[in-house]
Amino acid sequence: MHSLVIDRFSSYDARFALGPGEGSDAVHSSPQYSFAVTRLYSARGLTATGLTLTLGAGNDVVCRVIDLLAPQIVGRDIEELMAGFAVTFRAIADHHQLRWLGPHKGPVHLALASIANACFDFWAKVRGVPLWRLLLELEPRQLLALLDLSYLEDVLTETDALEILQSHRPNRASREQILKTGYPGYDTSVGWFHYNDEEIREKARRSLEQGFRAFKLKVGAPDSNHDFRRARALRDFLGAEACIMLDANQQWTLPQATRVCRELACISPYWIEEPTHPDDVLAHQILAREIAPIPLAVGEHIPNRVVFKNYLQTGSAGFVQVDCTRVGGVSEFLTVSLLARKFGVPVVPHVGDMGQIHQHLVLFNHVAIGHPVVFLEHIPHLRQWFVYPAQVREGVYETPQEPGSSSDLNERC
């Protein structure tokens, strides 16, 4: 196998128009999906793409931070870089001046996500394999060398992580079946906040026809009767077997959340997502106990492994929605996945990448470390902009075969 050097980089501020109501929730009323893109180039013409999501305003700010941080990887041989990526990850995350702007959260961490994701895309392309295959072919110690486990020592040492990776190797074969059948998806796009009742029913009908069996509805309206009525209507339409996930996008205070979640319990939600402020670990702990057995799903706005650790330690996360465009990229995603595995909590990513990278990562999580197959969020609004948009058929993500992380954007962007 030959290697390649990262010859140069550029950042790119890519913003996309959405249709009416698309992407809307109780808190983010009018998002403009945008990617702060890191592009890496080899002298031989290979290009790679790293993504992080923003909602429009401020996307340029993340690009600016990419410009400040990415010089650290220029001139590096990709195999040499990835053989000890944890060291580079930490050097970028702990930049002695930019660290002040976080640490490990906000635009600096988003920029790190974009850069790290570009490195993984570059690496997989150099090896000529899809990202999921690259990750599955790594030895446990090679995987470990990608991961910054600092500040996790009290719950996940290097030895613990290695043990998880090694213990799941002997019985991989049964789980590799997923590579052939594909990973099931769920449909977020039936229930955006600003869709009216008719739109929701129409979208749900089409989604059912397309083979989906799990659906998300945005809640968090000023009047909880509105939430209740819509949730009830969706349950009635979809039937008892469908999974319905309710997502409040942080809108509720703890007292509100406790009250409204109890009201919503009667439609048997599969989970309730982001009920209140994402920094409020203790509020989630209290709420999780109050509304058990309905699990909470959290992670879209959990910025790093340390906060995930606290969520897991308190038992408040029923589902871990870590997003590799939100934490510091693919490697921190893997770190959080190991952490969640240690605690026995399933990972169901939030897809700031529209599922493009995460379709690889959920395959790794299942095959390599035995995470259960749940389903992967599907949001189709940007598919026209990808060179290799995720192929979802009969509600199932087909396993991508092209080299890389499926992140390349087409030239019209």
Q: Which residues bind a second copy (CB under 8 A)?
A: 27-32, 53-58, 60-62, 64-65, 68, 94-108, 110, 150-151, 153-154, 250, 253-255, 276-283, 286, 301, 303-304, 306-307, 309-310, 313-314
Nearer residue to a second copy within complex by CB, 101 or 178: 101
CB of 150 to a second copy, least distance (A): 7
CB of 301 to a second copy, least distance (A): 7
Q: Give 243's Cβ-side CA count (13 Å radius).
A: 21
- Helix, strand or coil for residue 39? strand
Nearer residue to a second copy within complex by CB, 62 or 376: 62
Cα distances (angstroms) measured from residue 382 to each of 18, 136, 330, 386 = 8, 28, 21, 7
Strand partners, 409: 386
Q: Give 371's Cβ-side CA count (13 Å radius).
A: 28
Nearer residue to a second copy within complex by CB, 106 or 380: 106
Closest CA to 55 of 24, 27, 33: 33
CB neighbour list of residue 83: distance below 8 Å, 6 or more residues apart: 142, 145
CB of 111 to a second copy, least distance (A): 10
Q: Give the span between the Cα atoms of 1 and 294, in whole angstroms.
A: 49
Active-site residue, 218 included = yes
Active-site residue, 194 included = no
Q: Give the span between the Cα atoms of 305 and 150, in whole angstroms.
A: 9
Nearer residue to a second copy within complex by CB, 47 or 256: 256
CB of 151 to a second copy, least distance (A): 4
Nearer residue to a second copy within complex by CB, 73 or 131: 73
Q: Give the span between the Cα atoms of 289 and 314, in whole angstroms.
A: 10
- Which tokens hold the place of 365? 């999580």
Taking every pair of C-alpha atoms in the chain, what is the biggest distance, in angstroms? 61
CB of 291 to a second copy, least distance (A): 15
Among the listed residues 218, 284, 342, 378, the single catalytic one is 218
Among the listed residues 284, 301, 350, 378, the single catalytic one is 350
Question: Which residues carry out catalysis?
Answer: 218, 350
